Chain A
């Protein structure tokens, strides 16, 4: 720290930004790697079942597992296609 900095009391504090970014990233990456290893298989089988009834693509389904201190949440998300025309029964559409 030189003479000028001393009187100005310059403080960059990019470290605070670094810390915040790291906290978010590390939490996310830990959650990713703590996923149970049956998830991909579960996702594949669910997709097969759903495809018996609805024509959805590979990317239409996501299965995620979230953990906090006292519970685990298994979340299944299916995006159904738009019906070809509005006369189709809409019962199969996912409500959101």
Chain B
């Protein structure tokens, strides 16, 4: 039985797709058979971030509507044998995702995968609520900024009340905070909420802090999840987060200002 992880945030553009791609790749690299599903129907993007946009033939909605089998729709990652992508469809029909349909596909995938990562769209419409409905774990992606923190808290409320686990009275969804686009410099200057501030407000288990990094744009430009850029700060931060998720005790990094030389402090940089 696969473990289902939803990557959610409420607010748009905070890094859900970046995180889903990195996290799924990280889990696959650790040897787990992993699938990542794009729930952003109408605005497919995960395929681009994963670098498989030209290999999309069938999509999630085709499988739900039984126009294609799961095996026909799943795209095997070029770099990693046990990683598969299920792209979203570009149809404009928002109602094409149904609870029963999603459940059936997840059940079928559950037989062969260890982890299923669900990349949620922004907002609280059907795509977002269905992405979280069947989840076992939730990664709440948050930027250190007022509207993102507020929306994250809103999502926590929905996770706790409108999910399969909540409705069936099972053990609640495990929630993790992933603070992304963090800038220790700006937090130090008091221009940006700090890790501690956000954690205090949301009181969630901190899975990791992903620095605001040029490597992320580089990665999306080339269609390779940033976790594969092992030398980059963001890549390492995602790798740490995956290891923490898997139970390793990994100290947090990228939270405090790296000590800079006097010259670089003087002249900025």
Does A86 touch B at the CB level, under 8 Å?
Answer: no
A16 within 8 A of B: yes
Q: Is B268 an interface residue (CB 8 A)?
A: yes
B189 near A12: Cβ-Cβ < 8 Å: yes
Is A14 touching B190 in the complex (CB atoms < 8 A)?
A: yes
Q: Is A6's CB within 8 Å of the partner chain B? A: yes
Which of B80-88, B193-201, B226-234 participates in binding chain A?
B193-201
Contact residue among A1, A6, A11, A21 (Cβ-Cβ distance under 8 Å from B146): A21
Complex: how many Å from CA A13 to CA B188? 9
* A19 x B197 contact (CB < 8 A): yes
Residues of chain B within 8 A of A1, CB atoms compared: 185, 189, 265, 268
Once A19-B201, A30-B153 are accepted as A-B contacts, the answer to whether A11 and B189 lie under 8 Å apart by CB is yes
A16 CA / B146 CA spacing, docked (Å) = 11
Decide if A59 is an interface residue (CB 8 Å cutoff): no
Question: Chain B residues near A21 (CB, 8 Å)?
Answer: 146
Q: Mark B148-171, 1 if CB is under 8 A from A, else 0.
A: 011001100100010000000000
Do A13 and B197 have beta carbons less than 8 Å apart?
Answer: no
Confirm or deny: B246 has a beta carbon within 8 angstroms of a beta carbon on chain A. no
**B109 an interface residue at 8 Å Cβ cutoff?**
no
Q: Tell me, yes or no, whether B187 is within 8 Å of chain A by CB.
A: yes
Kindly state the separation between the CA atoms of A33 and B46 in the bound complex, as whole angstroms: 32
Q: State whether the Cβ of A58 lies closer than 8 Å to any Cβ in chain B.
A: no
* Contact assessment for B150 and A15 in the assembled complex, using a CB-CB cutoff below 8 Å: no
In addition to A1-B268, A10-B189, A15-B190, 19 A-B residue pairs with Cβ atoms within 8 Å of each other are A1-B185, A2-B267, A2-B268, A3-B268, A11-B189, A11-B190, A12-B191, A15-B193, A15-B194, A18-B197, A19-B200, A19-B201, A22-B149, A22-B150, A22-B193, A26-B149, A26-B201, A26-B202, A30-B153
**27 sampled A-B residue pairs with Cβ under 8 A:** A1-B189, A1-B265, A2-B267, A2-B268, A3-B267, A6-B265, A10-B189, A11-B189, A12-B190, A13-B190, A14-B190, A15-B191, A16-B190, A18-B145, A19-B197, A19-B200, A19-B201, A21-B146, A22-B146, A22-B149, A25-B150, A26-B149, A26-B150, A26-B153, A26-B201, A29-B154, A33-B161
Give me the interface of B with A, judged by CB distance under 8 Å: 145-146, 149-150, 153-154, 157, 161, 185, 187, 189-194, 197, 200-202, 265-268
**Chain A positions near chain B (C-beta within 8 angstroms):** 1-3, 6, 10-16, 18-19, 21-23, 25-26, 29-30, 33
Across the A-B interface, the 8 shortest Cβ-Cβ residue pairs: A13-B190, A2-B268, A19-B197, A33-B157, A15-B190, A26-B153, A12-B191, A11-B190
